[in-house]
Amino acid sequence: MLARIKQLVRLRAQPDRQASVHAPLIAAADIAGLAAQASLLATLPLREVHDHHAGDWASRWLGRGLDFEESRLYSPGDDIRDMDWRTTARTGRAHLKIYREERQPLVHLVVDRGATMRFGTRRRLKAAQAARVAALLAFATAGHNGVIGATLWNTQDETLPARHGRLAALGLIEAAAAPCPPLSDPASTDSLHFSDRLAALEASLPRGTRLVLISDFAWLADAHETQLARLAERFDVWAIQIVDAAERALPEMGAACFHDMASGQRVWLDTGETAVRSAARTAFADRLAAQAARLARAGVRHQKVDSDADDLVALLAHG
């Protein structure tokens, strides 16, 4: 397993040296560790999902399968081949047999690699933590004999088709952990329309998919709430929000120039001023609360993960 990982991801430089911006986001040893930890998640049942692949998992939808599920009253247009004659005779009212189909779980991971994700002040970039989360969930899905697909939100979006097994997980991880240097023109990301991205997910994924959005959600606005609600009606949507410690609490480091990676704007702040740090902390807390409220109203499960967190299993086991 580790040999295969080493073929896909180069080892980083030594910890006491600054990692190259062109190095993979996850070291091979870390990927191997996540693969081992995934077995802890693989023992936990994922929520029921539905895909067009026969398998060992019960679909959340009823259809013409093999396992009897229940009887219900006959409705005009129902197939009389499924009549439950015994219940019909006992009750005097026509009943139909309903069977539950077996499906394989389909998990589709969306990994945000945009401008605001290429930031980090503790141990790793937010994009690197997103890749680690994706790796853990990909390995866990493979452990469930699940089907894994992904979409990478980048300057040029990339969609990985749904596939089975560990090789599919490793292919996804290789793409998610690819080098992620700062963008030369961050302002150009304004042309990327997240509404179009959400619409593409709704149009392309089969009903019942477990859709995991891994992002800092800096892009999330009121305009996206309706689209997210539609996604939540069709899919089991889980939003995993990556947050950096410096966003929560601005460090005291005197006068500093801050660069907005989304808009390209620059602003000078005196972080030595208590009032400045307090205002920044309050503004970010309010922003997190507004984002959480939008996701909750849309019916999307939401979880925050710090970019420097190492034990992802403990955070995601009950997601």
Confidence of residue 54 (pLDDT cuts 50, 70, 90): very low
| Cα 53 off chain centre by | 21
Mean pLDDT of 15-41: 79
Instruction: Please give the single-letter amino acid code of residue 302.
Output: H
Query: 57-63 and 95-103 as β-strands: parallel, antiparallel, unpaired?
Result: antiparallel
The answer to whether residues 149 and 134 touch, using CB atoms and an 8 Å cutoff, is no
Confidence of residue 285 (pLDDT cuts 50, 70, 90): very high
Q: What angle do CA 179, 185, 187 make, to 5 degrees?
A: 120
Token readout for 168 is 């599919």
| Cα 184 off chain centre by | 26
Which of the following CATH numbers is that of domain 2-50+105-316: 1.20.1440.230, 3.40.190.10, 3.30.70.600, 3.40.50.410?
A: 3.40.50.410
For residue 60, pLDDT beyond 60: no
Cα→Cα distances 169→11, 60, 72, 156, 315, Å: 19, 24, 41, 21, 20
217: phi then psi, degrees, rounded to nearest 5: 60, 30
Cα→Cα distances 156→65, 125, 131, 242, Å: 41, 20, 17, 21
Tell me the three state secondary structure of residue 77.
coil
Of 61-70, 84-93, 176-185, minimum mean pLDDT range: 61-70
pLDDT tens-digit profile of 196-231? 999 999 999 998 899 999 999 999 999 999 999 999
Q: What is the pLDDT of residue 296?
A: 97
Q: Rg for the chain (alpha carbons), in Å?
A: 23
| Cα 227 off chain centre by | 16
Q: What is the pLDDT of residue 69?
A: 64
> Domain locations in the chain?
2-50+105-316, 57-103
91: phi then psi, degrees, rounded to nearest 5: -95, -20
Confidence of residue 101 (pLDDT cuts 50, 70, 90): low
Confidence of residue 138 (pLDDT cuts 50, 70, 90): very high
DSSP 8-state assignment for residue 78? -
For residue 181, pLDDT beyond 90: no
**Distance, CA of 128 to CA of 32 (rounded, Å):** 15
Token readout for 316 is 């995601």
For residue 297, pLDDT beyond 90: yes
